[in-house]
Chains A and B, each alone.
Chain A
């Protein structure tokens, strides 16, 4: 386990290095003088001078990268020019809202995706199989911001059951928080459910034809026990691992979902930063997201390694 961890960490270091190069490179895409663009429409000479000094714009490119990386390693992702706050503080402030949304979405995706995948595999080539596949195709083809608008039309405008937008902290009012988050969580979970359904179906089909499942059936076990206890348990390992990799999709989806439902999370932070031309926030959010993604990837790999004895050789 220790050797595997060292091996994985050794591959992560160069990946993180190139992530930093790509994200630093984003700034080089700005047309003209970066300090003038970053200073916004006012172009206050004091702000321009501050930015030029802060970003070391008079230095050669490799030196600028070294200064920037040095700051990042110490947790300094720069400062928001609009809100006048460190970017990392802003991200950490908004993160709990998005984590709650993503967690609820993931649970909904697991409930729909894994159930539909099991039904589809067990009833292969039946009406249920086709229906589950149709649900997966629907999930993969529906833009989640449109689904959000349609659900608002149905549940908020027509039926008046749920609030159309807004956010209430779960510590203030858990019921209102649930009412505000359930619709966005469903919207966000929809696409992941489709991916999980396809993974579950193929993993279950593989496992259901394995010798130990045939043996379980030959022993006269009830089909439900065979499917849930013998097949699903073994199929779940790759499903959960692959599911963890869908985190990136969750974060991408959160950007749009939070925009539709006006949820003040991580996704809304990047959109607002784009509109306010607060480029350092955009850069910081991408770097933070990539780092979290790489870390989760590592944890998923380690979990897979830990629960799968064959990988330990």
Chain B
């Protein structure tokens, strides 16, 4: 027993915290399955022009609401467009919305949260109250209102989702900064006379990144559902451009005659969101072993 412990102590220092987290992540089957599906969807979105069997916008009056067949694997929609091709191209809108919205949230939330946590005082009080106010407006309702006032388009939907999700990142960054800024190494950096900006960016920021990565992964899943919801309501991607949410909006009117129109876009949203959730859960367990 003592020998094993001694060996562990001898081996442990060779691995950096990042590599240890990566090892833990690789051991989680759920996270790996999630990662595989995320990569699959990203490749599908990038290669959409080459892998989609038909033009996603091409209508065919001779192929209206055709059930799945050898020619149209997922069937056709109400104006004869190939559902499979539209699902493949729709992955672009969903992934783009997920990634861009979260970049907006992180881009706003991280510096504001860092300022609130590090500076404290009235800056913190002001930012915290504004954050509380934004969190009091339910996420999707705020996103709908912002998208409605900005005007319906995919870009505005991404901005609306990004802004609506920002308070979560502000709050998380602030909480992390508050716990890190009292650590000895930050005190030491301050005692050495480092300027505030350098302490915040060089000594605090790298130590608050891990939970933000986890939150960002889970937020992408939420943003994909939010984009699909806004497109479903007509506030996201505008027709005829394909998006899973707008495809479902049309499909709900034909659910009794052409159920395939509703099944595949929904399955795609479910799989992509599930993949990001699995990956996020795995990352959380890997980066914070207490959750494991």
A contacts, CB < 8 Å to B? 11, 14-19, 21-23, 26-27, 29-31, 137-138, 140-143, 145-146, 149-150, 152-153, 157, 164, 248-249, 251-253, 255-256, 259-260, 270-271, 273-275, 279, 282-283, 285-286, 289-290, 293-294, 297
A19 touches B140 (CB 8 A): no
- In the bound assembly, the distance between CA atoms of A275 and B147 in angstroms comes to 12
A256 near B269 with CB under 8 A, answer no
Closest to B147 in A: A274
B141 touches A289 (CB 8 A): yes
Known A-B contacts A137-B274, A274-B235; A256 and B229 likewise in contact (beta carbons under 8 Å): yes
Given A141-B273, A142-B270, A293 contacting B136 (CB threshold 8 A): yes
Q: Give the one of B130, B221, B235 with max A CB within 10 A.
A: B130
Whether B132 contacts A29 by the Cβ 8 Å rule is no
- Contact partners of B278 in chain A: CB under 8 A: 137
Q: Which residues of B contact A249 (CB under 8 A)?
A: 138-139
Q: B140–A282 contact, CB under 8 A?
A: no
Q: List 9 A-B contacts (CB under 8 A).
A: A17-B129, A23-B145, A141-B221, A143-B225, A149-B251, A152-B252, A153-B256, A289-B138, A293-B137
Contact with A15, one of B132, B145, B225, B229 (Cβ below 8 angstroms)? B132
B120-144 at interface with A (beta carbon < 8 Å): 129-130, 132-134, 136-142, 144
Q: Is the CB of A29 within 8 A of B256?
A: no
Q: Tell me the complex Cα distance, A164–B256, Å.
A: 10
**One of A16, A146, A251 near B269 (C-beta < 8 A):** A146
Docked Cα-Cα span, A274 to B137, in Å, equals 17
CB-defined interface of B149-162 with A at 8 Å, one 1/0 digit per residue?
A: 11100000000000
Contact of B130 among A18, A138, A285 (CB under 8 A): A18
Q: Cβ of A26 and Cβ of B138 under 8 Å apart?
A: no
**Chain A to chain B: the 9 pairs with minimum beta-carbon distance, closest first:** A18-B133, A252-B140, A146-B266, A248-B138, A141-B274, A29-B149, A274-B148, A290-B136, A141-B273
A293 to B137, CA, bound (A): 8
Residues of B within 8 A of A150 (CB): 262-263, 266
In the bound complex, what is the Cα–Cα distance between A252 and B137 (angstroms)? 10
CB-contact partner of A143 in B130, B141, B144, B228, under 8 A: B228
B262 touches A31 (CB 8 A): no
For the residues of B in contact with A, the DSSP-based class is: helix
CA distance A140 to B251 in the complex (A): 23
Is B277 in the interface zone, CB < 8 Å from A? yes
The answer for the CA separation of A282 and B142 in the assembled complex, in Å, is 10
Closest residue to B276 on the A side, CB-wise? A141
The answer to whether residues A149 and B133 also contact, given A256-B233, A275-B234, A289-B138 and a CB cut-off of 8 A, is no
Q: How many A-B residue pairs have CB under 8 A?
A: 144
Please tell me if B255 contacts chain A, counting CB pairs below 8 Å.
yes
Complex formed: what's the CA distance from A253 to B274 in Å? 18
**When chains A and B are docked, how far (Å) is the Cα of A17 from the Cα of B136?**
12
Please indicate the chain B residues that have their CB under 8 angstroms from the CB of A259 in the complex.
Answer: 232-233
Q: Are A248 and B134 in contact (CB under 8 A)?
A: no
Q: Which residues of the partner chain B approach A273 to less than 8 Å between Cβ atoms?
A: 148
Docked CA distance A249–B129 (Å): 21
B178 close to chain A: CB less than 8 A: no
Tell me, yes or no, whether B211 is within 8 Å of chain A by CB.
no
Please tell me which one of the listed residues B136, B259, B266, B274 contacts residue A19 in the complex, with CB atoms under 8 A apart: B136
Q: Which residues of B in the span 265-283 have a Cβ within 8 Å of any Cβ on A?
A: 265-266, 269-270, 273-274, 277-278
Given contacts A145-B232, A157-B255, contact A30 B149 (CB under 8 A): yes
A18 to B133: give the CA distance in the assembly, Å: 6
Q: Does B146 contact A (CB under 8 A)?
A: yes
User: Which A residues are in CB contact (< 8 Å) with B248?
Assistant: 143, 145-146, 149
